[in-house]
Structure 1
Amino acid sequence: MDKAALAGALGSPPAFGQSQFAFMRGNAFEARVKADGGAELLRLVHERLDPGAEPPAGAEVPDLSAAGPQGRVARTALALREAAAAGGWTLLDHPMLALDVAGSPAFLEPDAVVVHPDGGWTVVEIKSFPMLDGSADPAKVGAAARQAAVYVLALEEVAARLAGDGAPPRVHHRVLLVCPKDFSNLPTASAVDIRRQRAVTARQLSRLTRVEEIAGTLPEGTCFSPELPAEELAAAVDAVPASYAPECLSTCDLAFHCRARARESGAVAALGRPLRAELGGLSSVEEVLAAAHGEAGDPDDPAVAALRRAAVLRAEALDAARAACLPVPPAGPEVPACR
């Protein structure tokens, strides 16, 4: 469903998104990279990933248009099959892939997928952040690698379906990251090994609770339509447990609603996963304060002992600050200050 519309109906619309300037700049750079039938993009793939193959002159760029996401997924699979059989360079511009996520299909659209003359498939990610002296921001590169790992998993599912009784086409675990060179608009590229990110993502997907299992725990007739009254809709959403963390704010449309609910309940997780992990079984702010003041908690619990020690140190620091606070004679009717 449309989570943004649901968040708006709940009164907590998402307040994030890419700026129009950044969006236009990214589109302009991607168009430059793919100009002339993707000649520059294919040159970078050949140079960085497959220099032993024949130069990518006159590569195929099939039309992937179709009706609806399912139609585009089927058209992409057909284009991949035809490209692997042809034995030359092929550029798939914005193919559509499907990945099973907890029993529900997620439709994915990589920037590009290149088919090599040997039949292998490579994911291409085009980003607008720069590569300075051949390296980019590690955090942004890591995010791009995690994104590409999802595409690789989806391609592996396509390869498995196309294989039949034979060996499946090879999906490369080194993806091509294309970025502007230094402060120019000229493209440069780097090969990124995403085997670790792929393994982590596959493990996370395998551990997700299936959608049908979640649906089976909900009350009969639960509905998430944004047209419902706000109170009824909020009750339906609250019927599905949420594990909010501050990181959700940059990725989930419902994050602001979940943050408000976490703050109302005093959940420690609203302050961050690292703090939540440090506090062990203390899951609410009330429990943390009670443990710090000696009103609750097991004294042998390391988290409780650390909280009580921190409370003692805080009290000593405040007493020292009060002792050092000397009144300043007022120059007029003002209240005495403290120095």
Structure 2
Amino acid sequence: MTETPNLRHRLARLRGPAVPPQPMDARALAALAANPGCKRRALLDGAGVDKARLAQALGAPAVFGQSQFAFMRGNAFEARVKSDGGSALLRLLCGEREFAGIDPASVAAPDLSAAGPEGRAARTALALREATEAGGWTLLDHPMLALRVAGSPVFLEPDAVVVRPDGRWVVVEIKSFPMIDGSADAAKVGAAARQSAVYVLALEAVAARLTGASVEHAVLLVCPKDFSNLPDGSLIDVRKQLAVTRRQLERLTRIEDIADLLPEGATFDVERPAQELAAAVESVRAAYAPECLSTCELALHCRQRARSEGAVEALGRSVRGELGGLRSVDDVLAAARGERGDPADPTVAALRRAAALRAEALGARPEPAGTGAACP
């Protein structure tokens, strides 16, 4: 699961001298899986480049992230969920009837500390094996999992994993957004499901080597109940997200192949001049979409470039799909005006029909006084 020395040296050179790599977490990996065509993000994440600092150096700082208050609130809530040997967590997972037969003192909580992420991942795999063979309840607090992505290892740290007596492993995801009347914000639940699917995928690689072990495809999502700090939970089926994540990660180009396309001497060291950084960033193809604004620190920079080039991707993936082979806004407008494009092409025909209807509507209704010509 280790990178070759040559690749490690190349990635370190891309980050800059003495710059430690930024670890990739499950949230970033889920976002990468949702946009596997973006070679730019695949390379930057694989090299451990701090994209927030890079965006700042490019003059387009990221506008999203978790506040310090929200971070502290989330940590406090997670500590409460795991207190008393994880009794509240097990009660949510099992239900009151099954939990009544569990002695909280008998729940194992192995020590997962080790040197480095590789050591912690090995210690976690050993603890999972021992817990499965023991046949009791085990709570693994912040285990370390390893997953190979685009030819490089990624280390992931779920909030918790519960091993049931029958050998089933359950991922636990703890979030600080509220669950009101038993339900939470659908968009936030969806994001948590995609993130949890990455953990399930990594756990399956460990379970495949153990007899009697299996990974549940329903993860336990734990959130504050209503407007209190009491925990509430729900099992979320992530089979769909798991299938999508597995398929998308398999499509990712190997990091070595992307790095080979870079010009000689290219670097993402934020200490370099902005013009040099911009040239290095632009040498790697991006796949911008408006959804990137909530998942990638470089989204504002990529949006500026997409708009300046008139790329239809800036309008969204659905619009991009409807426009077929028309790749720029200029091409779309020219096709609508009848200046280029095959009239037999359904996309071109639809654009010309829409332009004719618009012209007819504007011609039938005079424009208000003082307005200029209508924008195409």
TM class by shorter chain equals 0.7 to 0.9
- Where do residues 181-330 of structure 1 align in structure 2 (5 Å cutoff)? 181-322=225-366, 325=368
Judging changes above 3 Å, is the alpha-carbon distance between structure 1 residues 119 and 290 closer, same or farther for their aligned structure 2 residues? same
Match of 2:119 among 66, 71, 75: 71
In the superposition, the TM-score normalised over structure 1's length comes to 0.88
Q: Which residue of 1 aligns with 2:102?
A: 55
In the superposition, the TM-score normalised over structure 2's length comes to 0.80
Q: CA deviation at 1:249?
A: 0.9
Match of 1:14 among 62, 66, 83: 62
Identity of aligned residues (%): 71
Q: 1 CA distance for matches of 2:74 and 2:166?
A: 31
- Where do residues 33-182 of structure 1 align in structure 2 (5 Å cutoff)? 33-47=81-95, 51=98, 55-58=102-105, 59-160=107-208, 162-163=209-210, 167=211, 169-182=213-226
Deviation digits for residues 196-227 of structure 1, max 9, x if unmatched?
A: 21111111111111112212233333322222
Runs of 5+ consecutive residues of structure 2 not aligned to the other structure: 1-47, 372-376
Runs of 5+ consecutive residues of structure 1 not aligned to the other structure: 328-334
Q: CA deviation at 1:69?
A: 2.3
More RCO (CA 8 Å, sep 6+): 2
8 Å Cα contact 1:72/1:95 also seen in 2 = yes
Corresponding letter in the other structure for 2:136: G
8 Å Cα contact 2:150/2:252 also seen in 1 = yes
After TM superposition, the structure 1 stretch with the greater mean CA deviation from structure 2, 35-44 or 216-225, is 216-225
Root-mean-square deviation over aligned CA pairs: 2.3
Runs of 4+ in structure 1 over 4 Å off: none
Q: 2 CA distance for matches of 1:250 and 1:197?
A: 18
Corresponding letter in the other structure for 1:269: E
SS at match of 2:221: strand
SS at match of 1:132: coil
Aligned residues: 322
Q: 1 CA distance for matches of 2:122 and 2:270?
A: 31
8 Å Cα contact 1:93/1:112 also seen in 2 = yes
Q: CA deviation at 1:267?
A: 0.3
Q: 2 CA distance for matches of 1:121 and 1:150?
A: 14
Q: CA deviation at 1:122?
A: 0.7
SS at match of 2:244: helix
Q: CA deviation at 1:313?
A: 2.1
